[in-house]
């Protein structure tokens, strides 16, 4: 059997997953008590399904947050888009110049 330090204590099954998920949601909402946060930190290191659940909840919350910030600051998004388009154009320009150089060398 392979010895995998760190993951040895990880539970594959959670016997109280529902309770864990409630705790995870409370922590992510910021409504958890210090005791709950402490318990969560101890638990998250040993409970694989709850780590997965936590990561999922966190990514959902983060994607919602970015959506909200996009709605409330459209100007910033437009500026970012302009910068991105500018970089894209520069890359295309660089590519065109490279192709021309290659053509001059080989033709
Ligand atoms: Zn759990």
Integer Cα distance of 1 and 8 in angstroms = 12
Integer Cα distance of 40 and 26 in angstroms = 10
Cα of 26 vs centre of ligand 1, distance in Å, is 14
Cα of 13 vs centre of ligand 1, distance in Å, is 8
Integer Cα distance of 39 and 25 in angstroms = 13
Cα of 1 vs centre of ligand 1, distance in Å, is 25
Q: What's this model's pTM, rounded to 2 decimal places? A: 0.49
Can you give the pLDDT of all 107 residues of the chain as single tens digits? 444 444 557 888 888 888 888 888 899 889 999 998 998 888 888 888 888 999 999 998 888 887 766 566 667 777 888 888 888 888 888 888 888 888 888 87
Cα of 2 vs centre of ligand 1, distance in Å, is 24
Q: Is 27 exposed, middle or buried (0-12, 13-18, 19+ CB in 10 A)?
A: buried
């Amino acid at each position: 059997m392979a010895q995998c330090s760190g993951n040895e204590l990880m539970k594959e099954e959670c016997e109280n997953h529902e309770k864990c998920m409630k705790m995870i949601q409370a922590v992510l909402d910021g409504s958890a008590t210090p005791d709950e946060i402490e318990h969560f930190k101890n638990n998250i290191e040993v409970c694989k399904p709850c780590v997965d659940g936590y990561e999922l909840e966190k990514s959902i919350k983060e994607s919602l947050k970015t959506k909200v910030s996009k709605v409330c600051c459209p100007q910033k998004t437009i500026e970012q888009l302009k910068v991105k388009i500018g970089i894209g154009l520069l890359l295309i320009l660089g590519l065109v110049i490279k192709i021309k150089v290659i053509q001059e060398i080989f033709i």
